[in-house]
A and B are shown apart, each in its own frame.
Chain A
Amino acid sequence: MIPRWITIAYLAYLAAPIVLLFVGSFGDLWLNTLLPTGATVRWYAEVAADPSFRRAFSASLFVAVMTCAACVAIGLPLGYAVFRARSARVRALARMLYQLPVALPPLVLAFGFILVFSSDALPWLGSVWLLIAGHIVLGLPYFLQTVVSDMQRLGLRTLEDAAESLGSSGLQRFLHVVLPALRHSVLSGLIVVAALSIGEFQFSNLVSGFLNRTYPVVLLQAFYGATGFACAATVILLALALTASVTGALSARGTARFATARAGR
């Protein structure tokens, strides 16, 4: 009985802010009352009409998609190399290294980026690519973790041995066995990376240039305005994160299917 009540209470605690955001975004007036009065969709119209929000929306999507693509391009070979490393010590060390950014506050990373990339030698601060580079550092550990543990769970090594004994070349093994067998974990890894990239604030706030500010950075301004406007903008962020996750997932699936199909008949 008691565990059930704890569960219900916790779920309510989790859901309340999100539910309130929804309610608030459709409320006309919200001042010092528990719930807003009146119903309207004008806040959404206002956010949609706001040029800085529009630009931030597409900037965020672009950054998320690029981060995902880079995570696959870098993470898959890297994870594979770590998994196939012969020495157990090397594997453990590599794992520690790539997990390191998880412990790193994004703020620290941002300061580092500012120091390095505001110099005359590397004057890239403010470029959207630098922003993407930072998001890769933050997202890659989660991607690698998912993919490498899946390699172990699948017994990828034995699968490859089997394929090799059946006459499969190195490239064929990668295209026929490794890639398709990993498609599920690549997918779930990308969902995490996309959600992380969309919601990231600390790093993006400091490193993004004025013209490519991401959505959360712009969202901060909304909190100084009307409550309904802020709520609507936040709900959109939520939707954006969901969309990015789903898009990331679908595109990864498409890529895997494409690779399998090409390698196929």
Chain B
Amino acid sequence: MNGPPAVRLQDVSFRYPGGAAGVFDIGLEIAPGELVVCIGPSGCGKTTLLRLIAGFLRVDAGRVELGGRDVTAATVRSRECGVVFQSYALFPHMSVRANVAYPLRVRKVEVGARERRAEAMLELVDLAGFGDRLPGELSGGQQQRVALARALVFEPRALLLDEPLSALDAATRLTMRDEIRRIQKRQNIASLLITHDQDEALSLADRVAVLRDGRLVQVATPQEIYDHPADAFVANFVGRANLIDGEVVAGDAVDTPIGRLAVPARSQPPGTRVRLLVRPERILPQPAAGGENVFAAAVVHDRFFGANREIELAVGRGSLKVETTVRGEITHVHVPRDAVQFLSPP
């Protein structure tokens, strides 16, 4: 990678006065052109993180850099981050064009030039011809496009999106998700997107940052996060997961509530307590007993989603979640040895 990261947080901590909430020891870098999605349950500090980068909040400790420049003590204005808010925050009394041109207006760009640039931005977000409307006359998705255009028109150092899709209906959300991705790539701008939606995180991100109780648990590519979650929390939060506690009986076998599981070999003394992860779609229904890791199963819950089924099975003294395209009755399941992975207990 050439040049400094567009955004760099170094050991950043912030605590809300009079409370325990905040973010702690955050280290995060966003490369130029990279889209990092920060995901976590509500109250985990996602938005706080965004506000610390934008400058609405000042860090208690640590360092914030934008484009290699230390902005830890800089004002919101001088940080020049484009921020997109969940509620869009369009100025209700200004036309769409005036909204988009506003950052240029306060930068004293001459009228003709700023209207041209606003118009070009509106074109980029597919809203050419909407310039004279008022924000109130647009749909939620369109308003969010205007907000995006306004946040990008002044060529900010970074784009920060605070749950930009959560106020939209399901269909618009999918379209806007692709739109954000397209525009972000087109502008090639370092971006941080906040969400609590795992689909959004996995499908949008170059890298996903999982935040829990104000701490970063894991920062990795979507695939890495899904396939090799750092712990049980990440496994459960991103994707569906079977978390199985058990006790090692040999190098490649673990006793669990669902039965004795053959697992990838690992040198652990017998008696060690371990936690295993098996993704539901890795478990295979099987017509009859016989073979390694095949267990008799009884259906507890069966939800049909068209393309696939999500089934909850009672297996031994435990239970398993299974995702499958198999339509018929399910009596046995096979847990492939290589589908089992060890997790560090939370």
A residues with CB within 8 A of B:
154-155, 158-159, 161-169, 172, 176-177, 180-181, 183, 260, 265
23 residue pairs of the A-B complex, CB under 8 angstroms, read A158-B89, A161-B56, A161-B89, A162-B83, A162-B90, A163-B91, A164-B56, A164-B76, A164-B77, A165-B54, A165-B56, A165-B81, A166-B82, A166-B103, A166-B150, A166-B151, A167-B103, A167-B107, A168-B77, A168-B102, A172-B106, A180-B91, A183-B93
Residue with the highest number of chain B CB atoms closer than 10 Å, among A167, A168, A181: A167
Chain A residue with the shortest CB-CB distance to B54: A165
- Selected from A162, A169, A176, A180, the residue in CB contact (under 8 A) with B89 is A162
Closest 8 CB pairs of A and B: A162-B89, A166-B103, A165-B83, A180-B93, A158-B89, A164-B76, A167-B106, A168-B106
The answer to whether the Cβ of B111 comes within 8 Å of any Cβ in the partner chain is yes
Asked if A161 meets B92 with Cβ closer than 8 Å, knowing A166-B102, A166-B150, the reply is: no
**Are B93 and A166 in contact, with the CB atoms below 8 A?**
no
Asked if A167 meets B91 with Cβ closer than 8 Å, knowing A158-B85, A172-B106, A176-B102, the reply is: no
Q: How far is the CB of B192 from chain A (nearest CB, A)?
A: 13
Tell me which residues across on chain A come within 8 A of B80, comparing CB atoms. Answer: 167
Tell me which residues across on chain B come within 8 A of A163, comparing CB atoms. Answer: 91, 102
Q: How far is the CB of A90 from chain B (nearest CB, A)?
A: 14
B residues with CB within 8 A of A:
54-56, 76-77, 79-83, 85, 87, 89-94, 102-103, 106-107, 111, 150-151, 154
Tell me which residues across on chain A come within 8 A of B102, comparing CB atoms. Answer: 163, 166, 168, 176
Tell me which residues across on chain B come within 8 A of A183, comparing CB atoms. Answer: 93
Asked if A265 meets B111 with Cβ closer than 8 Å, knowing A158-B89, A162-B89, the reply is: yes
Distance in angstroms between the alpha carbons of A88 and B83 in the assembled complex: 26
Tell me which residues across on chain A come within 8 A of B83, comparing CB atoms. Answer: 161-162, 165
Q: How far is the CB of A168 from chain B (nearest CB, A)?
A: 5
Asked if A155 meets B77 with Cβ closer than 8 Å, knowing A167-B154, A265-B111, the reply is: no
Chain A residue with the shortest CB-CB distance to B150: A166
Asked if A181 meets B93 with Cβ closer than 8 Å, knowing A161-B56, A165-B83, A167-B103, the reply is: yes
**Are A161 and B154 in contact, with the CB atoms below 8 A?**
no
**Are B106 and A169 in contact, with the CB atoms below 8 A?**
yes
- Selected from A159, A162, A166, the residue in CB contact (under 8 A) with B154 is A166
Chain B residue with the shortest CB-CB distance to A265: B111
Distance in angstroms between the alpha carbons of A158 and B56 in the assembled complex: 11
Distance in angstroms between the alpha carbons of A166 and B55 in the assembled complex: 12
Distance in angstroms between the alpha carbons of A124 and B214 in the assembled complex: 61
- Selected from B82, B91, B92, the residue in CB contact (under 8 A) with A165 is B82
Distance in angstroms between the alpha carbons of A114 and B185 in the assembled complex: 72
Distance in angstroms between the alpha carbons of A155 and B89 in the assembled complex: 8
Q: How far is the CB of A165 from chain B (nearest CB, A)?
A: 4
Asked if A181 meets B91 with Cβ closer than 8 Å, knowing A162-B85, A165-B82, A168-B106, the reply is: yes
- Selected from B56, B87, B92, B106, the residue in CB contact (under 8 A) with A166 is B106
Distance in angstroms between the alpha carbons of A164 and B75 in the assembled complex: 9
Tell me which residues across on chain A come within 8 A of B91, comparing CB atoms. Answer: 159, 162-163, 176-177, 180-181
**Are A158 and B87 in contact, with the CB atoms below 8 A?**
yes
**Are A165 and B76 in contact, with the CB atoms below 8 A?**
yes
Distance in angstroms between the alpha carbons of A177 and B150 in the assembled complex: 15
Tell me which residues across on chain A come within 8 A of B87, comparing CB atoms. Answer: 155, 158
Distance in angstroms between the alpha carbons of A164 and B150 in the assembled complex: 13
Distance in angstroms between the alpha carbons of A168 and B103 in the assembled complex: 7
| A-B contact sample (5 more), CB < 8 A, given A161-B56, A161-B76 | A158-B85, A158-B89, A165-B81, A167-B107, A180-B91
Distance in angstroms between the alpha carbons of A162 and B164 in the assembled complex: 14
Distance in angstroms between the alpha carbons of A53 and B56 in the assembled complex: 58
Q: How far is the CB of A208 from chain B (nearest CB, A)?
A: 39
Residue with the highest number of chain B CB atoms closer than 10 Å, among A164, A169, A265: A164
Distance in angstroms between the alpha carbons of A247 and B55 in the assembled complex: 43
Chain A residue with the shortest CB-CB distance to B107: A167
Distance in angstroms between the alpha carbons of A154 and B90 in the assembled complex: 10
Distance in angstroms between the alpha carbons of A181 and B83 in the assembled complex: 20
Distance in angstroms between the alpha carbons of A161 and B162 in the assembled complex: 13
Q: How far is the CB of A2 from chain B (nearest CB, A)?
A: 39
Distance in angstroms between the alpha carbons of A183 and B91 in the assembled complex: 13
Q: How far is the CB of A87 from chain B (nearest CB, A)?
A: 10
Chain B residue with the shortest CB-CB distance to A164: B76
Chain A residue with the shortest CB-CB distance to B89: A162
Distance in angstroms between the alpha carbons of A260 and B94 in the assembled complex: 10
